[in-house]
């Protein structure tokens, strides 16, 4: 069984994001970029399935600029067997990415697609669901445990009341939550091996997909700075301030 894992190149989660002075977007010039943390969890889970003998091949896919090759090499260093880059300079939105992934799914015919539940840059949480709809595949989102049994995959999801267990018929789409696993540390020998692994590059036109943006970002702004707190001597003063100053009660 092939396992397909989409990975996205995003601003590293340790970096303090700054908005461009003209408000057109986030400033990524000279900023450290890395693999989206949820996608890293997805790659780790796919590699674990291969180590258990469930999966035969793990394919990492990324859509974006040429620098996304670095993200794919990281995925291959974790344990993916090969990478596919759909190269474009166009700003990719969730529907466009889902259409590109659908084209790759049609080409590769994987038995399972494991994606991160969302990217930490736009927090859209849409691509996995859109891919499942376009490919007409069963889906399980926010997975905290994944178990493949024959031609079925059993997924545990954390919900408000506890756990929800879903059983899907393969092929299927799964999106990963934080508690699914802890990605392994990438060693230098594996980084060196990843440089020799196969990496194929396509253009959206090669896949017959139009990636023209459908949404336009009008303005990006930083959240307002929080004012300093105040200490109150007693509950009566607190209630008075909440009622007359903050006007929240």
What is the DSSP track for 3-60? EEEE--EEE-TTSPP-B-TTSSSB--TT--EEE-HHHHHHHHHHHHHHHTTS-SEEEE
- Mean of the per-residue pLDDT values of the chain: 92
Q: Is residue 150 part of a domain?
A: yes
The sign of the dihedral angle between the CA atoms of 201, 203, 205, 211 is positive
Q: Is residue 14 part of a domain?
A: yes
Q: Is residue 229 part of a domain?
A: no
Average pLDDT over residues 124-134: 95
In the three-class reduction of DSSP (H, G, I as helix; E, B as strand; rest coil), residue 178 is classed as helix
Nearest to 41 by CA among 186, 187, 191, 176: 176
Predicted confidence at residue 25, as pLDDT, reads 84
Contacts of 75 (CB under 8 A, 6+ apart): 5, 7, 35, 39, 43, 60, 62, 83
Which tokens in the block code for residue 85? Answer: 């880059």
Task: Give yes or no for residue 226 having a pLDDT over 90.
Answer: no
CB 110 within 8 A of CB 59: yes
Q: Is residue 228 part of a domain?
A: no
Rounded to 5 degrees, φ, ψ at 58 are: -115, 125
Q: Is residue 179 part of a domain?
A: yes
Q: What angle do CA 36, 40, 46 make, to 5 degrees?
A: 140
Predicted confidence at residue 137, as pLDDT, reads 96
Q: How would you class 190 by CB atoms within 10 Å of its CB: exposed for 0-12, middle for 13-18, buried for 19 or more?
A: middle
Task: Give yes or no for residue 248 having a pLDDT over 90.
Answer: no
Which stretches within 61-174 are classed as H helix?
Answer: 68-78, 94-108, 127-135
Predicted confidence at residue 229, as pLDDT, reads 83
Q: Is residue 39 part of a domain?
A: yes
Domain count, the chain: 1
Predicted confidence at residue 234, as pLDDT, reads 93
Task: Give yes or no for residue 112 having a pLDDT over 90.
Answer: yes
Q: Is residue 38 part of a domain?
A: yes
Predicted confidence at residue 197, as pLDDT, reads 93
Q: Is residue 112 part of a domain?
A: yes
Average pLDDT over residues 86-115: 94
Give me the residue label for tokens 């849409």: 126
pLDDT band at 245 (very low <50, low <70, confident <90, very high): confident
Percentages helix, strand, coil for the chain, rounded to the nearest 5? 30, 25, 45
CB 163 within 8 A of CB 157: yes
Which tokens in the block code for residue 200? Answer: 């194929």
Predicted confidence at residue 27, as pLDDT, reads 86
Task: Give yes or no for residue 4 having a pLDDT over 90.
Answer: yes
Task: Give yes or no for residue 126 having a pLDDT over 90.
Answer: yes
Average pLDDT over residues 215-227: 86
Q: Which domain holds residue 84?
A: 2-220
pLDDT band at 221 (very low <50, low <70, confident <90, very high): confident
Question: What pLDDT, in 10s, does the model give residues 155-191?
Answer: 999 888 889 999 999 999 999 999 899 999 999 999 9
CATH code: domain of residue 23: 3.40.50.620
- The least confident of 17-26, 125-134, 150-159, 163-172 is 17-26
In the three-class reduction of DSSP (H, G, I as helix; E, B as strand; rest coil), residue 73 is classed as helix
Predicted confidence at residue 125, as pLDDT, reads 93
């Amino acid at each position: 069984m092939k396992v397909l894992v989409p990975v996205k190149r995003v601003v590293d989660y340790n970096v303090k994001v700054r908005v461009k002075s003209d408000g057109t977007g986030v400033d990524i010039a000279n900023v450290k970029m890395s693999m989206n943390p949820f996608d890293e969890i997805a790659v780790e889970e796919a590699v674990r399935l291969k180590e258990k003998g469930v999966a035969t091949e793990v394919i990492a896919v990324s859509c974006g600029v040429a620098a996304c090759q670095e993200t794919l090499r990281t995925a291959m260093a974790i344990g993916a067997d090969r990478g596919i880059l759909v190269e474009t300079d166009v700003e990719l939105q969730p529907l466009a990415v889902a259409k590109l992934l659908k084209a790759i799914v049609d080409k590769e015919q994987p038995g399972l697609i494991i994606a991160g539940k969302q990217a930490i840059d736009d927090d859209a949480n849409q691509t996995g669901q859109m891919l499942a709809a376009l490919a007409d595949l069963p889906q399980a989102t926010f997975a905290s445990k994944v178990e493949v049994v024959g031609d079925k995959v059993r997924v545990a999801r954390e919900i408000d009341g506890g756990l929800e267990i879903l059983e899907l018929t393969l092929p299927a789409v799964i999106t990963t939550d934080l508690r699914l696993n802890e990605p392994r540390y990438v060693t230098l020998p594996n980084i060196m091996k990843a440089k020799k692994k196969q990496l194929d590059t396509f253009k959206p036109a090669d896949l017959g997909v139009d990636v023209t943006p459908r949404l336009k970002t009008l303005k990006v702004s930083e959240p307002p700075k929080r004012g300093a707190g105040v200490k109150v001597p007693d509950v009566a003063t607190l209630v008075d301030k909440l009622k007359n100053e903050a006007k929240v009660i």
